Structure 1
């Protein structure tokens, strides 16, 4: 039997697990989820992300890359963050943010293509909720035999959850990624015994609002009962059932959906 072997002028390509992180997208999404600029305790821990990534890499070569924009006014403050990332083993690609179109998506896709040419990609993890730019390239990678994982938040990464070719992992399900629960309304990740969602502001704040109060969504109409026969009491219509409100703790060890 003839064994396949690389030609002398074609060195064997090494297996690679690649993680690419879209920092502008993740930061924007986190701000949207929290409704405000994230505090340091609200931001993901990149050391925990690295440990999770390494947990399925076995002895294959690994590479973690963070792609970020640098506004002229934030260059000094970002230096410490970038140095911390490098100390965790991440390479960092930084692009000046001078114009609105100065994004990092093209650089991320180019890097994935470059690594695909130089290595045999085994697993690609993309941390981004941007389906417009990543859906088609990632599905094409899957068809080429690469395991593809999207790491983001369920609220924005519908493209990954709906694709049968892409695995999705919610960032808050990565062990140790956040110091505190983000307090999100994750109705698809409720504990078996239920849980609470806390109010986002005091009820008495409604008295400070000007103008008529409006429901965020129309209240379901209650169907009027049929007229009661003569001589019988008319039954009263029952109001729609109202669910309790509180906070649900982040689930532990949720399994990712696979394509």
Structure 2
């Protein structure tokens, strides 16, 4: 019997980004065009065409270490923890994150070395601005990017991330999954279910907003600032899980007078 799929919140025919990016000069996989973009694949079709590995004890599928980056969530929570709009100096360095992820996969020449795949999921607003340069930089670092137009304020890509994880757990032996997201509402249950099947699942986010992973007995948690080189300079934050022995002052994020003025306006 095949492994059960991850339970998803939206009862619909699921789709997910197409396969991992090809190495330079590698032939195109069957059904995948050789252009800059790849189609969205149907999850049901991907599951049905995956080999029945139970009889082969999993040997038909390659091992895979997969990284999933929830760009809207990481951007939002970064603003929350530093109390300001992120600047170039305070944004994550994807080159360092790629190096950290690949190093943990082990020696690529080892007989049991896994494939590695890193995917960034992003909502693209109508005014693209500097996002084109950001996307091209990510691709240059070896990340695949799943970009979806943001047409409504509540549009998100959580389901696309869950769908892609589900596709990969059927197309490969998902050895390790690293999810950069503090979104426990959508990820806690599916990630714990996956961990129960034997996949090593690590959540990387900010400790201030990732209680679902910190409190889980099944998930490993790493604060994103603990990833070596993830930020060019230390973030302007005081982590309650890493306070100095002598304590620390937490500055207000707005002036007392400004708060009282807004309070009076709201309450008369």
Q: TM-score, normalised by structure 1?
A: 0.72
How far did 1:54 drift? 1.2
Contact 2:120 2:145 in 1 (8 A): yes
The match for 2:124 is 70
In 2, distance between residues paired with 1:7 and 1:35? 53
The match for 1:21 is 69
Q: TM-score, normalised by structure 2?
A: 0.69
Which protein has greater RCO, CA pairs closer than 8 Å, 6+ apart? 2
Q: How many residues align?
A: 203
In 2, distance between residues paired with 1:209 and 1:85? 39
Q: How do 1:96-107 residues align onto structure 2 when only pairs under 5 Å count?
A: 96-107=149-160
The match for 1:131 is 184
How far did 1:179 drift? 1.1
The match for 1:117 is 170
Q: 1:100 to 1:210 in 2, by over 3 A?
A: closer
User: Unpaired runs of 5+ in structure 2?
Assistant: 1-52, 109-113, 262-268
| RMSD after superposition | 2.6
Q: 1:128 to 1:209 in 2, by over 3 A?
A: closer
The match for 1:183 is 236
User: Unpaired runs of 5+ in structure 1?
Assistant: 213-259
In 1, distance between residues paired with 2:91 and 2:235? 10
In 2, distance between residues paired with 1:98 and 1:29? 22
State which structure, 1 or 2, has the greater radius of gyration over its C-alpha atoms.
1
How far did 1:6 drift? 8.8
Q: 1:119 to 1:39 in 2, by over 3 A?
A: same
